[in-house]
Amino acid sequence: MNPTDEYFLRTLLVSLFVGVGTALIGVHLFLRRLPILGLVMPQVSLLGGLLILWITPLLRFTEKETQGGQTDSIWALTFVGALIASIPLAFWIGIKRHLRGLPIEVILGTVYVLGVGGSLILIALGPHALHHVPKLFQGQILAVTGRDLIILMATLGVALAFLIANHRTLFAVGIDSEFALAIGHHVAVYETLFLTTASVVISVASVTVGPALVFAYSVCPVLAAWFLSRSVKTFVTLALLFAAVCGTGGTVIAFELDLPVGSTQLVVLALGTITTGLLSRWLFHVSWLR
């Protein structure tokens, strides 16, 4: 591994930004008891990306591939399709949460099955330009061009800036929506804004690292932080730190051992979460014995 290699540095930046951004979304989803969205929305985003690749005429042209196997305009097109599919879903969830009827988890589960089935059918019947997409199902990070990296970082930067600027209100709404409503917060507005922001972050993450890794980053750092936290501030800080360490560490290990980056990060995230859980149990027994 050459630490100055452009491909390595680009992959490292993608892993770091996507991991931290998705982990922050995962924290908010956990507080809202909607962790299933970390599974459903990436799949819906990928389905939307595949659909737009089907209808765009750009697929008729042969394009130069990047080192990771992804063509120069495929990433941007997939991102646009992912946004078109995920943002309406976010608005629908924001409205549905405040209405009676079937549990939202049941509906989202059905949407997930549709997303997986539809994506696999499109890939099986798709043109050559879609052949790189199965790698996303394996958690393999695809290289993005310098231009696409700028789009990715700018998108995540704007979304994270919104979450940070409104973190007090968003946490209040997520922890206790009735109390937030009682003290004058517009709960429905902030819920819709958050879910829309989440759809943007998850969309850009899904078309870059794949649904499996997005789900892992939305769940594992949150669970690991929950094991060791006694306050919301500590909870958020540990979750973001865990995501950053696993993203960076997984990338370095993958390049050192010549392994798939995404799959390596999945293993690092899982082992890190298990280790944190065991450490939490050990600390509990030590404190109890005292």
- Residue 160 belongs to domain with CATH number: 1.10.3470.10
Contact 152, 145 (CB under 8 A): no
Question: Which residue in this structure is represented by tokens 């389905």?
Answer: 47
Q: Give a yes or no: residue 223 inside a domain.
A: no
The answer on pLDDT for 218 being more than 90 is: yes
* pLDDT at 122 (0 to 100): 78
Does residue 137 lie within any of the structural domains? Answer: yes
Most confident by average pLDDT, 132-136, 147-151, 179-183, 194-198: 194-198
Tell me whether residue 280 is in a domain.
Answer: no
Contact 262, 138 (CB under 8 A): yes
- pLDDT above 60 (res 175): yes
Does a structural domain hold residue 73? Answer: yes
281/287 Cα distance (integer angstroms): 10
Joined together, the tokens standing for residue 46 give 């990928």
pLDDT at 55: 75
74 part of a folded domain? yes
Residue 232 lies in a domain: no
Task: Give the chain's domain count.
Answer: 1
- Please report which confidence band the pLDDT of residue 101 belongs to, taking 50, 70 and 90 as the band edges: low
Say yes or no to pLDDT of 117 above 50.
Answer: yes
Mean pLDDT of 7-21: 88
Alpha helix (H) ranges present in the chain? 6-31, 37-55, 74-96, 104-125, 134-137, 146-165, 167-175, 177-182, 187-209, 211-228, 232-257, 261-289
Residue closest to 213 by CA, chosen among 62, 44, 39, 58: 39
Q: What tokens does 35 get? A: 């962790």
Residue 282 lies in a domain: no
Domain span including residue 198 = 6-212
Give the list of residues 6+ apart from residue 278 with CB closer than 8 angstroms, or none: none
pLDDT at position 135, please? 61
Within a domain: residue 22?
Answer: yes
pLDDT at residue 120 greater than cutoff 90: no
The larger pLDDT score, comparing residue 89 to residue 226, is at 226
Among the ranges given (30-39, 127-136, 217-226), the one the predictor scored with the smallest mean pLDDT? 127-136
Q: How far apart are CA 186 and CA 31, in angstroms?
A: 18
Both tokens assigned to 170: 């968003």
